[in-house]
Amino acid sequence: MNLRCLIVDDEPLALDLLEGYVLKTPSLALAGRCSNAYQAMEMLENIEVDLMFLDIQMPGLTGMEFIRSLQSPPKVIFTTAFEQYAIEGFKVDAIDYLLKPISYPEFSIAVNKARHWFEPDEKTAVPAVRNSIFVKSDYKLIQIEFNNILYIEGLKDYVKFYLEGNENPVLSLMSMKALEENLPASRFMRVQRSFIVNLDKIKTIERNRIVFGKEYIPVSDNYKEKFQQFVNDRFF
């Protein structure tokens, strides 16, 4: 199955580069190219598109505003020179987020992720299971695997990711509320205002405190009932 692709970018060189990448990728078919979101909106009314390579910073209507305006948007891979939009990108369920200049190997990895959103013999898209999150730390985007997270601590406008096998936590500028909304509820639980824990990593609970090595995280009254239900469901 070839994915029908639409490229949207206000930079002619970026359009040419991505068109070349699409044309040399066997699993892709070029449905069209547009230099702004308004052209793309009109094109989507007339053609079927599976996947959209979408720039974010465009005049008039940004790529983020455009994708949010669509009732049934195609799957999207953001292509941008600005890394600060990564969290917003994943909030709209983007498949990937490519920073310019984009190499063909990076492009190919993103396309492979997109292919996993589609059944080989079906026309309907199916969601892939997210196993990681990108966070901004020290002017870099760092991909953190969910399996590596022990717990997360909130500190005013920042959060700290405490990772298995890593002595130094990853510090990132974001709110606990925004982070909680982007983590799978089946794997992570907020147990007090300042802490989110990875449920799969809990080995010991002592006097209503979750033990991670030398760190003891008490479960607050506001979250005690929900946490106790988690324990009861697994109690032998």
Structural domains of the chain sorted by starting position, each given as residue range(s) with its CATH number in brackets: 3-115 (3.40.50.2300), 148-233 (2.40.50.1020)
**Cα 225–chain centre separation:** 30
Bridge partner residues of 36 (DSSP): none
**Contact between residue 208 and residue 231 where contact means Cβ atoms under 8 Å apart:** no
Indicate the angle between helix axes 104-115 and 12-23, nearest 10 degrees.
Answer: 60
For residue 212, the tally of other CB atoms under 10 A from its CB is 17
In 3D space, the residue among 124, 123, 54, 34 whose CA is nearest the CA of residue 95 turns out to be 54
Give me the pLDDT at residue 63, please. 87
Give 147's contacts (C-beta < 8 A, 6+ positions apart): 131, 164, 200
Digit-by-digit pLDDT tens for the chain (236 residues) are: 689 999 999 999 999 999 999 999 989 999 999 999 999 999 999 999 999 999 988 889 988 899 889 988 899 999 888 765 555 555 667 888 888 889 999 999 989 888 887 754 444 444 456 788 888 888 788 889 999 999 999 998 899 999 998 889 999 988 888 888 888 888 999 999 999 999 999 999 998 999 999 999 999 999 999 999 988 887 76
Burial 22-58 (b: 16+ CB within 10 A, else e): beebeebeebbbbbbbeebeebbeeeebbbbbbbbeb
State the burial class of residue 202 (Cβ atoms within 10 Å of its Cβ: 0-12, 13-18, 19+). buried
In 3D space, the residue among 59, 58, 66, 51 whose CA is nearest the CA of residue 21 turns out to be 51
Backbone angles phi, psi at 98, to 5 degrees: -100, 130
